[in-house]
Chain A
Amino acid sequence: MSARSNILAKLRKSLDNTTPLPDDYDVELVTKPWSYPLAERITRLRTLMEAVHTETYLSTQEEWHTRVEQILNERHIGRLLIAPTTPYGQHLIKQWQSRNGTPTLKAYDRPIEEWKAELFNDTPASLTGTLGAIAATGSLVLWPNTEEPRLMSLVPPLHIALLKASEIADNFYTFQETHRWRDGMPTNALLISGPSKTADIEQVLAYGAHGPKDLIVMILKDA
């Protein structure tokens, strides 16, 4: 007998003559206390994320690159990891390639094995898009993919995330439903609610444990 069949047999025997409990999932309880008027979603997201040391900025689809440039200059960061094939990546390339003095753009376009050392040791910042965000908990939602692989938002010490204001959902439940998550999950899905942190020593909060030390969210208004 294999471990699998032994375990399953034991569990089945323990449930002899019992019926499964019904599903009394209370949708209202996980949505109603966590619903906000449209305008308040941005405020709530910013408040919660800033409370855990995230920097947030309001910008527009057309102008965000100037704020990104300013942020990188202030921090003396000369290189930025981007996804060159996404609209955001395209936008940056278009805006920056013709001008001098803009940060160097580095594309994540090869398997990690080919440039792991460079990613770990020589990639100070990255920029990714997001699938959306959750106002209830102050979380960004990321579905890393071929264009924006998962280590982009993890290894560089500074992560800049672009978020469309219209993509901020009320709560996790609503987000799952809107995006029909149960019909298929990607390799990796993430909720990110701030820069990496720890309180493992004397419960003193310290940022930049293993992931990014800084997280900057650019919230893009539609007009």
Chain B
Amino acid sequence: MNQMTLIPITQIPEPAFKERARQALNDDQLRRNFRIAMDSLMTKRLAVMSDTDERERLREMGNHVRARALSKLPDLLEKLEDNLTRNGIHVHWAETVDEANAIVESIAKAHQAKRLIKGKSMVSEEMNMNHVLGEHGIECLESDMGEYIIQLAGQKPSHIIMPAIHMNAGQVASLFTKTLGTEYTTDVDELIQTGRRVLRQKFFEADIGISGVNFAIAETGTLLLVENEGNGRMSTAVPPVHIAVTGIEKVVENLRDVVPLLSLLTRSALGQPITTYVNMISSPRKSNELDGPQEVHLVLLDNGRSQAFADGELRQTLNCIRCGACMNHCPVYTRIGGHAYGTVYPGPIGKIISPHLLGLENTPDHPSASSLCGACEEVCPVKIPIPSLLRRLREENVKSPEAVPYRLRGQGSKFSSKERMAWKVWSKLYASPTLYRSFVYLATRFRSFTPGKAGPWTEHHVAQKPAARSLHELAREHLEESQ
């Protein structure tokens, strides 16, 4: 397939990350929108997870459930496939987003389908499905209110749970007036009713419904979806065909495994004890049933996940249940918003998963864009050690691209022989007590020569001048006196 059609997903759009971050930082409205939204999401989460002991034990359990599934992933995928097939659901496998789109397209062609309605699926964003199918004359319309809004605006989601979180009601009102011709109102109820009216007709007409999957249960051959709006149920129950797309890591072993994960997911994401709907699909319409799709398909997508899977440490990335709590609590995400990342998954999880999906050569700055403060790890419901994984990606990213063993696509994209040499010098200096003490002696004695400008540091700080005498000197004197 033509690479050009895939530009928005296989390549980070220009300008590069740092420039987009700079633009976001200068956008006061954007920063206000995110700060308010993230503060509220953090408060809501804490309100339903205030029992520290229960929360911490459940997070540990969530981690163990996910880790157990990953520790037998290929077997579980086969079991899932067996059970889904037995239930009458067609299972497809795709290594790349091209293959996944081709599968969806061929199902659409077989049904002469022209109108697709989509629940909400971040994997379909990875596939850039709306765009790719659109080029083949198949309309793919978003029905989640947030996704619908940004599709109208020609944008991408800025948050995995709340795709239009970067916009306020006034911006949505203007958009609706411009694209739907409705009267301008910032009344959120009225705006939502407009969306409901337009999209009901689309559900009614749609040839195929598309959805994601929150948990694929191997034991029973069940696809579980959570949502609040009902668009997920509409997409999977009204059109005659339902296609679910998901990543290969989404499988869990047993039905009971979803009990802790569901609780962790909805509480971490939105501070809700549960979402309005939990939709469990185990088969297409049976012969004696009166509604539901006649055909159900599941597309299992790899798209770089098997690269993360290959390494025991990086495999932990695939614990993720996509709650978005890491971005809600991230001081970097809060300030730059989701679009600055230029990747389907923004925020902390985006920084650790995107390098596998897109290659480090396309996400060179992502692992570095973190102070490693650990707020994400602290709230992650499945205990992904995000800061450690970021550090690990940094290590792979500064390795020589030819380094053996070769581990990651695009490894060494930040390799600089100058920088590596500088750290080698640093290491020699700090690992040699004599050299180090001479260095500190000189730095303190020549402190008045400290330059007033020191690269990026002095953009926001005064230059840091060494003390007149080092602790080494002062401590030696002091301890000699007293001992």
Q: Do chains A and B touch in the complex (CB under 8 A)?
A: yes
Is B291 within 8 A of A209, CB to CB? Answer: no
Please choose the segment from B302-310, B375-383, B385-393, B398-406 that sits at the chain A interface, where 4 or more of its residues have CB less than 8 A away: B302-310
Whether A20 contacts B72 by the Cβ 8 Å rule is yes
Find the A residue at minimum CB distance from B163. A200
- CB-based contact B230/A209 at 8 Å: yes
Contact of A181 among B61, B72, B255 (CB under 8 A): B255
> At the interface, yes or no: B71 with Cβ under 8 Å from chain A?
yes
Segment 228-244 of B: residues with Cβ below 8 Å from A: 228-231, 233-234, 237-238
Q: Is there an interface contact between A203 and B162, defined as CB atoms closer than 8 Å?
A: yes
Given A173-B259, A196-B276, residue A202 in contact with residue B188 (CB < 8 A)? yes
CB-nearest residue of chain B to A11: B74
Q: Which of A86-94, A95-103, A122-130, A148-156 lies at the interface?
A: A148-156
Cβ-defined contact, B273 with A48, below 8 A: yes
Could you tell me if A176 and B255 are in contact, using CB atoms closer than 8 angstroms? Answer: yes
**Most B CB within 10 A of own CB, among A2, A136, A182:** A182
Contact status A201-B191, CB under 8 Å: yes
Tell whether, in the assembled complex, residue A20 and residue B71 are in contact, meaning their CB atoms are under 8 Å apart.
Answer: yes
Contacts of B61 in A (CB 8 A): 25-26, 29-30
B260 touches A29 (CB 8 A): yes
Residues of chain A lying within 8 A (CB to CB) of residue B279: 188, 190
Tell me how far the C-beta of A49 lies from the nearest C-beta in chain B, rounded to whole angstroms: 10
State the total of A-B contacts with C-beta under 8 angstroms. Answer: 249
Is A39 interfacial (CB 8 A cutoff)?
no
Tell me the bound Cα distance from A151 to B72 in angstroms: 37
Chain B interface extent, by class:
35 or more
**Does the CB pair A190–B280 fall under 8 Å?**
yes
- Bound complex: CA of A146 vs CA of B289, how far in Å? 5
Residue B277 at the chain A interface, CB threshold 8 Å: yes
Q: How distant is B234 from chain A, measured CB to nearest CB, in Å? A: 5
Within 8 A of B (CB), among A126-180: 136-139, 145-146, 149-151, 154-155, 171-173, 176-177
In the complex, whether A198 has a CB less than 8 A from a CB of chain B is yes
Task: Say yes or no: B259 contacts A189, CB within 8 Å.
Answer: no
Contact (Cβ within 8 A) A209 B145 = yes
| Distance in angstroms between the alpha carbons of A177 and B280 in the assembled complex | 16
Residue among B149, B222, B290 with the highest chain A CB neighbour number at 10 A: B290
- Among A56-64, A68-76, A104-112, the one that faces the other chain is A104-112
Q: CB distance B172 to A201 under 8 Å? A: yes
Known contacts A11-B73, A209-B192, A190 near B276 by CB under 8 Å: no
Interface residues, chain A, CB within 8 Å of chain B?
A: 2-4, 6-8, 10-15, 18-26, 29-30, 33, 48, 52, 108-112, 116-117, 120, 136-139, 145-146, 149-151, 154-155, 171-173, 176-177, 181-182, 184-204, 206, 208-212
Question: Which 9 A-B residue pairs are closest in the complex by CB-CB distance?
Answer: A211-B230, A200-B146, A209-B229, A210-B230, A191-B278, A4-B93, A137-B274, A112-B291, A196-B230
* B interface residues, Cβ below 8 angstroms from A: 33, 37, 40-41, 51, 54, 57-58, 61, 64-65, 67-68, 71-74, 77-78, 93-95, 99, 143-146, 149, 162-165, 167-169, 172, 188-189, 191-193, 195-196, 199-200, 203-204, 219-222, 228-231, 233-234, 237-238, 248, 253-257, 259-260, 262-263, 270, 273-286, 288-292, 300, 302, 306, 309-311, 315
> What are 27 A-B contacts defined by CB distance under 8 Å?
A3-B302, A6-B95, A7-B300, A11-B309, A14-B311, A15-B74, A21-B68, A29-B54, A30-B58, A52-B276, A139-B278, A149-B291, A185-B220, A185-B222, A186-B283, A190-B233, A190-B279, A193-B275, A197-B229, A200-B162, A201-B149, A208-B193, A209-B229, A209-B231, A210-B203, A210-B233, A211-B276
Extra contacts besides A187-B282, A196-B276 (18): CB < 8 Å: A7-B93, A7-B248, A10-B302, A29-B58, A33-B54, A138-B274, A149-B292, A150-B237, A155-B238, A176-B259, A186-B283, A201-B167, A203-B40, A206-B188, A210-B143, A210-B203, A210-B231, A210-B234
